Amino acid sequence: METARLLIGPERFALTIERLSHQLLEEFDDFQDTCLVAIQMGGAPLSERIYRYLIDQLQIEHIDYGKLDITFYRDDFRRPGAHLRASENEMNFVVENKKVILVDDVLYTGRTVQAALTALNHYGRPKKVDLLTMVDRRFNRELPIRSTFSGLRIDAVDEAYVQVEWAELQGQDRIMLVPKE
């Protein structure tokens, strides 16, 4: 792959956020004993958009919402050359006996999700954990992890990155397939 390719532009991006939000509403109804937890950094913009849509558009009264840093739970944390930067945990609730919706932008090897599940245990033992991702890259999964809710499923070669861009961070909502350098 030599050049970047647009997978989803702004209109379809917005529709995908709406669709995912409606799927959550169908599954969790009033979100009683359910919480939304973003995996820092990639899951934060997606979870914020979904949280805002559920509250503002779908009139959900309350959802426990947090952001979980997984830096020190990653299996590559102590590897030479790892340049990892921790984010702040924003979890002011426990997940004990709750249904957790874990949110990340791209599911690829499954290692990020594995680290998030380990980190989540410090906040209690959830009743159930579902994974919501904007993009599910089905090839190259290294662990038996799957996304319950996905905005887009793609089969991309390993020579390319899937890049999710956010209007508030990069100036435009879009998903790109970008060649590795």
pLDDT tens, the chain, 181 aa long: 578 899 999 999 999 999 999 999 999 999 999 999 999 989 999 999 999 999 999 999 999 999 999 987 766 655 566 566 777 889 999 999 999 999 999 999 999 999 999 999 999 999 999 999 999 998 888 899 999 999 999 987 677 889 999 999 888 999 999 988 7
State the Cα–Cα distance between residues 139 and 110, nearest whole angstrom: 11
Contact 95/124 with Cβ under 8 angstroms? yes
The two tokens of residue 73 are 């739970």
Closest among 62, 16, 66, 59 to 36, alpha carbons compared: 66
Domains of the chain from N-terminus onward: 10-73+88-156 (3.40.50.2020)
State the Cα–Cα distance between residues 148 and 130, nearest whole angstrom: 6
Residue 60: what pLDDT? 94
* Residue type, position 19, single letter: R
Contact 88/69 with Cβ under 8 angstroms? yes
